[in-house]
């Protein structure tokens, strides 16, 4: 048997998506090894989850670096030295330097709470509500130098309901994020997914014309 995919998770906040990955691994549904949880915030809930799960933690403070690029170069050098195969951005709230991330293109994914290409950046739930959208969702995409602009692998869609405000919508969507992210990592761990330069995704060797869709716990074409 080949060795499990070695993943590093980067998170700035509470870490519920990390928790979903850990739960999938513990349930035997995700054959990966967590080699690091890294954060720019010493108080991130994600770090406490990592500690409880016995995963090595890495905390880098932006103020200790002369520039964004210096921070990112150090972060990615450490992840390389740890031997990460895949970097998963799960609520990592920093813009990454294009040069520093370049060696990781195709080996780094991000979960973003919108139906990309709609609503890159922040306040996605509020913007969807203000636009009067009928549906909202979350995307997992390969990370490229363009903020939230890399090719989308898979999406979860939900209808916007009359009672939704920003908080309710975010909370309802989060439950879908927790299924979407493990499902994508599972495909990568199985060696079925690939980044095809400059901006494509292929599944089982065939380029995806549109992102995969989450149905239940599964991704479908
Ligand atoms: C998630 O909703 C994720 O999609 C979002 O941050 C939240 C992290 O929650 N990511 C972004 O907005 C990235 N631009 P978590 O810490 O509970 O996983």
Reported for 115-118, long-range contacts at CB under 8 A and 24+ positions apart, including other chains, are 115/139, 115/155, 115/157, 116/141, 116/148, 116/149, 116/152, 116/155, 117/149, 117/152
Pocket-testing residue among 10, 11, 17, 44, ligand 1, by greatest number of atoms within 8 A of Cβ: 17
What does the pLDDT read at residue 4? Answer: 96
Q: Does the structure show a pLDDT above 60 at 1? A: no
Count of structural domains, the chain: 1
Mean per-residue pLDDT over the chain, rounded? 97
The mean per-residue pLDDT over the stretch 65-70 comes to 98
Whole-prediction pTM: 0.98
Pick the residue whose CA is nearest to atom 6 on ligand 1: 91
Distance from the CA of 14 to the center of ligand 1, in angstroms?
9
Indicate if 112 belongs to the active site. Answer: yes
How far is Cα 108 from Cα 87, in angstroms, rounded to an integer?
A: 5
Ligand 1 pocket, Cβ-based, cut-off 6 angstroms: 11, 13-17, 90-91, 111-113, 138, 174, 177
Q: What is the pLDDT of residue 31?
A: 97
Ligand 1: residue of 113, 122, 147, 148 to mutate (most ligand atoms within 8 A of CB) is: 113
112, 125, 136, 141: the catalytic one is: 112
Contacts of 86 (CB under 8 A, 6+ apart): 5, 6, 7, 8, 32, 107, 108, 109, 185, 188
* Range(s) of the domain holding residue 125: 5-220
Question: How do 135-142 and 108-112 pair as beta strands?
Answer: antiparallel
Mean pLDDT on 10-30: 98
Residue 22 has pLDDT above 70, yes or no: yes
CATH number of the domain within which 165 lies: 3.40.50.170
Q: What pLDDT score does 2 carry?
A: 74
Residue 126 binned pLDDT confidence (cut-offs 50, 70, 90): very high
pLDDT of 38 higher than 60? yes
Distance 191 CA to ligand 1 centre (A): 25
Closest-CA residue, ligand 1 atom 9, reads 91
CA distance 26 to 44: 22
What tens digit of pLDDT does each residue of 136-193 get?
A: 999 999 999 999 999 999 999 999 999 999 999 999 999 999 999 999 999 999 999 9
């Amino acid at each position: 048997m080949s060795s499990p995919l070695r993943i590093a998770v980067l998170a700035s906040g509470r870490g519920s998506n990390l928790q979903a990955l850990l739960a999938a691994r513990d349930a035997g549904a995700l054959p990966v090894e967590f080699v690091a949880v890294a954060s720019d915030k010493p108080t991130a809930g994600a770090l406490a989850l990592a500690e409880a799960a016995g995963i090595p933690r890495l905390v880098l403070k932006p103020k200790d670096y002369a520039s964004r690029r210096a921070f990112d170069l150090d972060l990615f050098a450490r992840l390389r030295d740890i031997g990460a195969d895949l970097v998963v951005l799960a609520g990592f709230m920093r813009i990454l330097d294009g040069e520093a991330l370049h060696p990781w293109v195709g080996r780094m994914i991000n979960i973003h709470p919108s139906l990309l290409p709609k609503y890159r950046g922040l306040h996605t739930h509020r913007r969807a509500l203000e636009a009067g959208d009928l549906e909202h969702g979350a995307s997992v995409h390969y990370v490229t130098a363009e903020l939230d602009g890399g090719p989308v692998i898979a999406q979860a869609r939900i209808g916007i309901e009359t009672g939704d405000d920003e908080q309710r919508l975010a909370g309802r969507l989060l439950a879908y994020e927790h299924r979407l992210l493990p499902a994508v990592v599972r495909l990568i761990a199985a060696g079925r997914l690939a980044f095809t330069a400059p901006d494509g995704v292929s599944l089982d060797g065939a380029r995806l014309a549109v992102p995969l869709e989450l149905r239940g716990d599964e991704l479908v074409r």
